[in-house]
Structure 1
Amino acid sequence: MIVSQHKLSWSLVGATIGTLLASTAHAAPPEQRHNQVDGWFRMLLGQHEVTALYDGYVDLDTQLLSGMNAEQIRERLDSLFIDSENGVQTAVNAFLVHTGDHLVLVDAGSAACFGPTLGHVADNLRASGYTPEDVDTVLMTHLHPDHVCGLTDSDGNVVYPNAELRVSQTDADYWLSEEQAAAAPEDMQPFFAMARDAVAPYQQAEQMATFQPGDELMEGIDALDTAGHTPGHASFQFHNGDNELLVWGDIVHSHGVQFANPDVAIEFDSDQQQATEARRNTMGAAAQEAWWVAGAHMPFPGIGHVIEDGDGYRWLPVEFGPIRE
């Protein structure tokens, strides 16, 4: 009888545990979390610390590309599993380089000039451990709004109050000219106004200076002529011993298409033939010299290497990992 009672008790315990396990196994998980991590990525390049800053993204219509027909572009993107039905997601990146002596920001993002998916450079800079007040130099690859508008906040105040702004002379002569704006097509005139508004407080504070291609902007940083996308488009070469980083601005907009076929241009290019030549020359040099490259419209963090691939090239992105000193 005692044995039977024990058997009965253990049966009840087993049934209870089974019920609990079953109820636990079928419990609904917490709601999905759709927020993303902060948009910054850091690596060391010799003695330079490089931080990629994510401004956001924009969906670019493939009809903006020329040099391949629509079917070829679609087939190319499909082969890379890139969804292009509603436009190709295209990142906007800026780059912060700590040289040891200077904290240099290359491009400033779009701030409020374009839609809700952009405008996060300053926030991500803070999230990375720095403040806008820490930046002593801002280098502009060119004066398109998605690069220059982030220089000021929504009230028109400077975001980087302790920085000297450096702009190519040719781009300044073009984008800051009211005469050029008046002569431009009507749909382009807001681009001129946004550029003028963004740099105006730096000019007024005498914190803006221009440069020419080939200038050494400070020790170990050279301005390279990569004109074509805009009249004065520049790239910046950071030298640090045997380490080379090229921040190339808008050499590439559609990584899925333009690496394989550098002759494909985009409607935003001021001079498509010149932009194509700049792209081929820059990709060729980057591949041959094994430079690290940072691109404004490459998939975040936008840092990697260019590798020759037949008549074109391919992109080898940086691998995420710990900071190794």
Structure 2
Amino acid sequence: MSLPSVRSLASALLLAACAGSAWAGTAHRPTAQVPGVYHQQIGALRVTALFDGTVALGRQELVGIDPGAVTRLLDHRYVPEDGKGLQTAVNAYLVQRGRHLTLVDTGTAQCFGPGLGQVLGNLRAAGFDPTEVDDVLLTHAHPDHLCGLLDAQGQMAFPKATVWLSAADAGYWLDPASEAGAPQGVRFAFALARKAVAPYDRAGKLRRFTPGQALPDGVTALDSHGHTPGHVSWQLDGGNGQSLLVWGDIVHFHAVQFARPDAAFEADSDRTAAIASRRAMMARAADQGGWVAGAHLPFPGLGHVRREGQAFAWVPGEFAPLR
């Protein structure tokens, strides 16, 4: 290093030390983290992860696995846990291809109370107007994925957008008859789903589809039912062999379910099918080597999957500046 460079570095360190001393003496310090926005270039796709907040999931909600095994898997994983449960992120993803904007899932909006409902604000913080969104792809019809279709006034948050929901999930969650026969603990979600999609349905902007039908260019819906009857994972083609798999709720407990894909979530509508879908999506991601985005992976929830024997492991993406 040249002498001027050494002097420049010394000056910078001195300024930083002075700033640190001044900061230490201030009475008021920020308590909020930086905005929940992260960008990743994947081929022709510019992906923006949007943080909605966190929920607490109790370790007892993992079923089909011995509690001792859960404890061992959580040991030294440093997942924050309090009296309510394990900290679990809620994420959504905006995908930009040229001028076309696709939002995958929408967060909780007003449905789950304080600490959540940040997707719309973070979308604006990322420099996008919600009225610019062309398509909204829903992985499934649970409140933490579709309540964000509405703004704080109960109006369409994305008035230009076409909303895509699988016919199987629409047929179940939008049907009052299904609500009457559903377990008591999930009945609250039916009214929330109907309310969220209603204005889009009235405007002719709700598209019910089955995997294999025509979808927006470069988008494929993969059947990954089990968590809900019509849960889908979305694969978006970035060109040049690059892709993004947004797999929704394939994983809720990342510290456990990669190592033990057979560990089901109490809220899964069909646990056997959910386990099969989890194995299939993890195998697909590991074998293809593409990018994965998960609604309940630690923010920004972007990375890759690798095989570890008969199980899998999560490989978080490295921070990278946009090109």
Do they fold alike, i.e. is TM over 0.5?
yes
Deviations 1:94-144 (A, max 9, x none): 000011152000001000110211100000000001010010110100000
Distance in 2, Cα, partners of 1:75 & 1:45: 35
- CA drift at 1:85: 4.5
Corresponding letter in the other structure for 1:270 = S
Corresponding letter in the other structure for 2:44 = Q
Corresponding letter in the other structure for 1:80 = R
1:47 aligned partner: 44
Deviations 1:147-170 (A, max 9, x none): 010101233211001101111000
Q: Is the 8 A contact 2:119 2:148 kept in 1?
A: yes
1:131 aligned partner: 129
1:277 aligned partner: 276
Q: Specify the SS of the correspondent of 1:79.
A: coil
- CA drift at 1:84: 3.4
Distance in 1, Cα, partners of 2:179 & 2:63: 25
Q: Specify the SS of the correspondent of 1:192.
A: helix
Is residue 2:145 matched to residue 1:147? Answer: yes
Distance in 2, Cα, partners of 1:251 & 1:101: 30
Distance in 1, Cα, partners of 2:214 & 2:303: 24
Q: Which shifted more, 44-53 or 66-75? A: 66-75
Distance in 2, Cα, partners of 1:33 & 1:286: 39
RMSD between aligned alpha carbons? 1.6
Q: Which shifted more, 234-243 or 122-131? A: 234-243
Corresponding letter in the other structure for 1:314 = A
- The structure with more radius of gyration: 1
Q: Among residues 51, 54, 58, which one is paired with 2:55 in the alignment?
A: 58
Q: TM-score, normalised by structure 1?
A: 0.89
- CA drift at 1:216: 4.0
Is residue 2:25 matched to residue 1:29? Answer: yes
- CA drift at 1:310: 2.1
Distance in 1, Cα, partners of 2:115 & 2:256: 23
Q: Specify the SS of the correspondent of 1:274.
A: helix
Distance in 2, Cα, partners of 1:101 & 1:224: 25
Q: Using a 3 Å threshold, how does the CA distance of structure 1 residues 28 and 117 change in structure 2: closer, same or farther?
A: closer
Q: Is the 8 A contact 1:214 1:225 kept in 2?
A: no
Distance in 2, Cα, partners of 1:224 & 1:46: 21
Q: Using a 3 Å threshold, how does the CA distance of structure 1 residues 27 and 143 change in structure 2: closer, same or farther?
A: closer
Q: Is the 8 A contact 2:223 2:232 kept in 1?
A: yes
1:303 aligned partner: 302
Gaps in structure 2 of 5+ consecutive residues: 1-19
Identity of aligned residues (%): 49
Write out the 4+ residue segments of structure 1 that deviate beyond 6 Å after TM superposition. 24-27
Deviations 1:167-219 (A, max 9, x none): 10000000000111112233322110000000001011111111111234121
Gaps in structure 1 of 5+ consecutive residues: 1-23
Aligned residue pairs, count: 301
Q: Specify the SS of the correspondent of 2:152.
A: coil
Q: Specify the SS of the correspondent of 2:70.
A: helix
